[in-house]
Structure 1
C-alpha cells in the first residue's frame, strides 16, 4: 500500500493518542482515520436501506384522493 506523509499539529496528535489509547502517533492517527471511514460506510448503508424503502413505498400505486 502506498504511504503518505502528513504534517499535523503536535497537540492534535497527542490528543488523538490519548483518546484512542494508542502509543504511536502514526498508529493513533491511522486508527482514527479508519474509524472515520468505517463510520461513513455504516451511515451510507443505513441511509441507502431507508432510501430504498421509501422508493418502494412511493412506487406503489396510490388510491385516488378526493
Structure 2
C-alpha cells in the first residue's frame, strides 16, 4: 500500500493520540481514519447509501394498528 505524508497541527496530533490511546501520531491517525471508515460502513448498512434514494419517495402514512 502506498504511504502518504500529512502535516498536522501538534495540538491536533496530541488530541488524536489521547483519543486513540497510542504513543505514535502515525498510529493514532491511522486508527482514527480506520474507525471513521468502519463507522460509515456500519451506518450505510443500517440506513442504505445514496443510491437507495428511490426508497425514500413520499408515501402516505398508515395509522397504527392495534
What TM-score does the superposition give when structure 2 sets the normalisation length?
A: 0.71
Largest Rg, 1 or 2: 1
Distance, in Å, in 2 between the alignment partners of 1:25 and 1:43 is: 27
Instruction: Report the secondary structure of 2:4's partner residue.
Output: coil
Structure 2 CA distance, aligned partners of 1:4 and 1:19? 22
Corresponding residue for 1:44?
44
* TM-score, length-scaled by structure 1: 0.71
Q: Which runs of 5+ in 2 are unaligned?
A: 56-66
Where does the alignment leave 5 or more consecutive residues of structure 1 unmatched?
Answer: 56-66
Query: Which 4+ runs in 1 deviate beyond 2 A?
Result: none
Shift of 1:18: 0.7
> Cα RMSD over matched residues?
1.6
